[in-house]
Amino acid sequence: MNSRSRSRSLLAIAATVSLATAGLLLSPSNALGSAAGPQGQAKASPSWQLRPTGTDEEYRGLSARSATTAWVSGENGSVLRTSDGGKTWRDVSPRQTDGMALRDIETFGDGRAVVLAIGEGEDSRIYRTVDGGKHWRETFRNTEPAAFYDCMAFGRDGSGLALSDPVDGRFQLARTTDRGRTWSPYHPDWMPTARTGEFAFAASGTCLVSGPDGTYWFASGGIKHPRVYHSTNGGRTWTVRATDLRGGPSAGIYSLDFRNASRGIAVGGDFADETNGADAAARSHDGGRTWTNSAHPVGGYRSGVAYLPGSANTIVAVGPTGSDVSNDGGNSWQTFDGDRYDGIQCAHDGSCWGSGTDGRVARLVR
């Protein structure tokens, strides 16, 4: 078994372990009203408001459309959708995905969505709906036995990429120009060479993110110095930069977010050492060309991160040991919640959603 397969096995095991505290309602001990900054200055702190799904599935895939509408996709093949702010959830699961790990879901409004099933070979598949989940159609099935697709990202024009771990030393990409209706694999020569042991993490569907005008970034792990790849032409060519974040067989960058073409945040760590947040977050002010590790770290391994709309410098990161907030653009972090969340995503209206184990889905309250 190679290092990528060993890491995949570890991640599958880690995904079954819930470190959530007992009970469904937040208490004052895990939903603080304020947090002290590094110099002791009091700053407003967010909290999570649970929106129970009535299930016990783990939801790593998350798409936030608005304060009222969100989709989640789960480890056992289910897809849920709410249109009333999480008061009720509708099961809109594809019939074909029972038992599959649906690690990424992307939505476009008007009931259109695509969901990614991960796995080696033909287990990596993409399904699409145009009617709110009433009907789904398979639009992509990986035919490369050694490939393992991890995540997707889409531009505003409906073009998008799906990213796979390296095959024969190069990352693999599939491209769509019609919101996931059809997919075409890129020629592997268009991708930069991966280092031995390097791969991407299928943790929360955010190892690959998009920006304006055909801009994409994706992150790697499995090596000593995790790297960030950047394309400005829809994935046809890439540049790559190493970071000083923690790396190793089960360590690296798990999630990215960019506020704009310049300012970005990366989080990760080691899921085999999930309480250790040292060198697990870094920020960039030049589009990912250089990265600076946080001076005050996150509270542990983190699998999801998002800039909060309406604030230039506020960011939230989530993981199995809790959630952290940064009010200074990712330089310092303060833990504000102890429950497990795998992913976080914010909508254009300013609302943010989180998803995780034991059917946990929540809205962020600020």
The CATH code of the domain that includes 206 is: 2.130.10.10
User: The whole model's pTM is what?
Assistant: 0.89
**Alpha carbon distance, N-terminus to C-terminus of the chain:** 46
Residue 35: name the closest of 319, 322, 363 by CA: 322
Tell me the per-residue pLDDT of 281-306, one tens digit each, with 9 for 90 and over.
999 999 999 999 999 999 999 999 99
Range of the domain at 340: 3-365
Tell me the per-residue pLDDT of 302-319, one tens digit each, with 9 for 90 and over.
999 999 999 989 999 999
Cα separation of 339 and 6, whole Å?
Answer: 27
One-letter amino acid at 228 equals V
Cα separation of 38 and 33, whole Å?
Answer: 17
Tell me the per-residue pLDDT of 28-50, one tens digit each, with 9 for 90 and over.
223 333 344 444 434 668 999 99
Cα separation of 186 and 169, whole Å?
Answer: 15
Q: How many domains does the chain have?
A: 1
Cα separation of 279 and 296, whole Å?
Answer: 9
